Amino acid sequence: MTTSVSPVRGSRDASARSGLLASRRFVSVLGWSCLVSMALLVWLGLSVAPTDAVQKDAQRLMYVHVPAAWLAYLAFGVTAACSALYLWPRTRSLHYDRLAGASAEIGVLFTALTLALGSIWGRPVWGTWWTWDARLVTTAILFFLYLGYLALRRVPDDPQVRARRSAIAALVAVVDVPIVHFSVSWWRTLHQEGTVFGEDRDAQLDATMAWILLWAVVTFTLVYLFLVLRRYDLAGIEEAADERQLERAIVERRSEAASSVVAAPEPVSVAVGAAPGSAP
């Protein structure tokens, strides 16, 4: 094992190859603004926001539940868009594939968060952790759909092949979401209607609440942006590390082969069998 490869150099190589989406400076500024914005949101949501007349403090969960759900959909939307861009021959690039994967991972995270927060909110308000209502079931199915997508991505394969597979899977999944939602809402509908975006009603949300909710959505979107950019860079570094490992394995094999030819006629099957990673 050589120690000459420092992690810093490795990552710089990776970023040079992948072409970072945003400069490091931008990402770190973004990270700090996420922190500040989140701290502000905690203060706004817990002490500035008025207490709901019916649901009391439980209603404050809205400031995290609603933005988490919004982000889940945004993330899967970005995954679908990037997948379509990858499949389109003119815009085909592994950058889109990497972005699609990064976004889906964060989408799954926020879907899980949405389900968990919804459960915690449902317990005091509806008196149950879970109810088989249309939106809940759709979200749960969405969660499993994208877990499957991520499982597909995790199986090692040639990057281009994997990218095409994943892109098709993502697009098929995104087509399924409206059908699932439609069928499940036919099946049962208990959930309260959308309050802010409801069709024939004016926003019934208190003005302060609405502003804080808006702030929450903006904050969560910033967090999403930060996480996606970081995950994208990380994926580039991972790929570079894989390539490096492969190159190293090839070099080791070559030297083994050379030494076995020069040194002795005896079989070297043990050494070959123990070589890490197998080049196709």
Partner 1 sequence: MRLLREAAVIAGKDLRIEARSRVTTNQVLPFGGLVIVLFAMALDADRPTLTRVAPGLFWVTILLAASLAAARSAAVEIENGAADGLRMSSLDGASIFLGKAAAVAVQLVGLELVLGVAVVALYDVEVRSSPVMIVGALCATVGLAAAGTLFAALASGLRARETVLPLLLLPVLAPVLLGGTRAWEAGFEGTPSDGWPWVQLLALFGLVYGSLGVLAYGSLLEES
Residues found near partner 1 in the complex (CB under 8 A):
87, 141, 144-145, 147-149, 151-152, 155-158, 161, 164-165, 168-169, 171-173, 175-176, 179-180, 182-184, 186-187
Could you give the CA distance from residue 158 to residue 132 in angstroms, rounded to a whole number? 41
Q: How far is the CB of 73 from partner 1 (least distance, A)?
A: 16
Contact in structure between 86 and 80 (CB atoms under 8 Å): no
Q: How far is the CB of 174 from partner 1 (least distance, A)?
A: 11
C-alpha 239/C-alpha 228 separation (Å) is 16
Nearest 5 degrees, angle CA 224-CA 226-CA 232?
95
Is the CA virtual torsion 235, 241, 246, 247 positive or negative? positive
Residue with Cβ nearer partner 1 (45 or 101): 101
Q: Is the CB of residue 236 less than 8 Å from the CB of residue 17?
A: yes
State which residue, 43 or 187, has the beta carbon closest to partner 1: 187
Q: How far is the CB of 185 from partner 1 (least distance, A)?
A: 11
Residue 160 C-beta: closest distance to partner 1, Å: 8
Cβ closer to partner 1: 42 or 172? 172
Of residues 155 and 264, the one with the C-beta less far from partner 1? 155
Distance CA 164, CA 120 (A): 38
> If we measure between CA atoms, which residue out of 271, 267, 268, 264 comes closest to residue 249?
271
Nearest approach, Cβ of 108 to partner 1 (angstroms)? Answer: 13
Return the closest-CA partner of residue 13 out of 245, 241, 251. 241
Name the minimum Å distance from CB 104 to partner 1. Answer: 13
Q: Which residues contact 96 (CB under 8 A, 6 or more apart)?
A: 82, 83, 85, 86
Using the minimum distance from each CB to partner 1, give the nearer residue, 19 or 89.
89
Beta carbon nearer to partner 1, 110 or 149: 149
On whether the CB atoms of residues 113 and 106 are closer than 8 A, the answer is no
